[in-house]
Amino acid sequence: MTRRTGKGRRPLRIFLVAGARPNFMKVAPLMRAFQARPDRFDPVLVHTGQHYDAAMSDVFFKELEIRKPDLHLGVGSGSHAVQTGKIMEAFEKVLTGDRPDWVVVVGDVNSTLACSIVAAKMSPPVRVAHVEAGLRSGDRTMPEEVNRIVTDALADLLFTTSPDADRNLLAEGVDRRRIHRVGNVMIDTLRRFVKRSDQADTLRRLGVAPPYGLLTLHRPSNVDDVEALRRVMRAIGEIASDLPILFPVHPRTLDRLRADLGWGEASGQDGRVRLLEPLGYLDFLHLQKRAALVLTDSGGVQEETTILGVPCLTLRDNTERPITVSRGTNRLVGSDTAAIVAAARGILRRPRPRRRSVPLWDGRAAARIAAVLMLR
Ligand code: UD1
Ligand code: UDP
């Protein structure tokens, strides 16, 4: 056996896990940082298959120059228990055959939770590093909140994006020495690719000119609750009378719009709400940067609009990313029709906010993570 420390050190074998759309932007810079130091890292990219449509997965590998997954677990969709269970079963087989030094998980999706539990319960345990640790919405009805709490409770290393995350972890009794504030890997990707997205011909292809608004919606609390979905879409219809709205639709939401609101292939509201397929990263970034207003219930989009200096209305009552409100351009508006419309009209009347910076969201988070792992 080769020694891991000292002169005869072998590279750290790292299983890096990705499963769903927001994971791909986060693993891209990490893979790049690991691959840049083959003397120190031997990364294995594991795709659980939680997201599988080309527009929810493959496109990001191509655009963000991520190599093909080394392992694909192919689990697909299912209820929380079914999906989490399938990932656990498949990932346990992987870890039984090939024991890495670290399992690195990102974000808060079911793939994050499932792989952390499996690693922590191997005998002996495989160490877990959680990238984007410590975020808390305080709302346990949100499936991601459960994923965050359990993953952080199991992780040996907790990489955070903001001081509030550090405070949340300390309040939960996490040993300070395990917490490393490194910045935001999702913003590493934004900074790397924003120039390329400037060159995309997205608006021309869509035949759209500013001003326009951009909407994304996929949280179960908004789309699986038919009344909430109706309230939000009524608000969007009203805003669309002032401002055309582009709406790349998440597959979960498309199902609900069709089944519960009877929306067809074409858009509602006289074509002023334009339904689109889920977009690739470069097209979506192109649209975000030029939008007069973004309306969303996404986690990542709250952060990206903060860095782009684009006003964002978050269609939720809480956020696990409070720094996007205190230092950024984000505002929580919930799902009440009148509140959403009033907030949107207020933004359209005001000059665009100044771009604000967030400490350490500087494009170097993945390099900092690699540096910490090297010392372990
Ligand atoms: C998941 C994450 C959520 C994240 C979101 C990002 C969990 C608990 N949720 O939510 O945190 O914000 O991804 O987009 O992990 N579907 C397809 N094609 C796909 C993927 C999904 O048609 O490629 C449809 C299926 O009908 C599926 C539904 O979308 O049942 C939901 O997918 P799932 O991965 O369970 O949750 P998301 O809502 O995507
Ligand atoms: N995104 C994208 N195409 C879209 C919608 C979103 O590329 O049509 C990107 C967005 O820029 C961000 C990420 O997807 O980088 C956010 O993922 P999502 O909203 O699905 O998940 P969340 O962040 O809410 O977990």
Is 95 a pocket residue for ligand 2 (Cβ < 6 Å)? Answer: no
Are 154 and 115 within 8 A, CB to CB? no
51, 218, 250, 286: the catalytic one is: 218
Nearest atom (ligand 1) to Cα of 52: 23
Q: Would the pLDDT of 3 be above 70?
A: no
Ligand 2 pocket test: which of 51, 53, 301, 308 has the largest number of ligand atoms within 8 Å of its C-beta? 301
Question: Is the torsion defined by CA of 161, 163, 168, 173 positive or negative?
Answer: positive
Is 52 a pocket residue for ligand 1 (Cβ < 6 Å)? Answer: yes
Percent of all residues in the chain with a pLDDT value above 90, rounded to a whole number: 93
Contact partners, residue 6, CB within 8 Å, separation at least 6: none
pLDDT one-digit tens code per residue, 221-258: 999 999 999 999 999 999 999 999 999 999 999 999 99
From start to end of the chain, where are the E strands? 12-18, 41-47, 71-72, 102-106, 127-131, 157-160, 179-181, 213-216, 245-248, 273-276, 293-296, 312-314, 330-332
pLDDT one-digit tens code per residue, 55-102: 999 999 999 999 999 999 999 999 999 999 999 999 999 999 999 999
Q: What are the structural domains of the chain? A: 12-184+361-374 (3.40.50.2000), 195-349 (3.40.50.2000)
Question: Is the torsion defined by CA of 212, 217, 223, 227 positive or negative?
Answer: negative
Residue 160's DSSP bridge partners are 181
pTM: 0.97
Give me the pLDDT at residue 6, please. 46
Nearest atom (ligand 2) to Cα of 60: 7
Ligand 1 pocket test: which of 51, 135, 255, 301 has the largest number of ligand atoms within 8 Å of its C-beta? 51
Distance CA 189, CA 37 (A): 19
pLDDT one-digit tens code per residue, 161-218: 999 999 999 999 999 999 999 999 999 999 999 999 999 999 999 999 999 999 999 9
Q: Would the pLDDT of 8 be above 90?
A: no
DSSP 68-92: PPSEE-------HHHHHHHHHHHHH
SS3 182: coil
Query: What residue owns the CA closest to ligand 1's atom 19?
Result: 51
218 is catalytic: yes
Contact partners, residue 362, CB within 8 Å, separation at least 6: 183, 187, 191
Distance of CA 20 from the midpoint of ligand 2 (Å): 10
Amino acid type, 75:
V
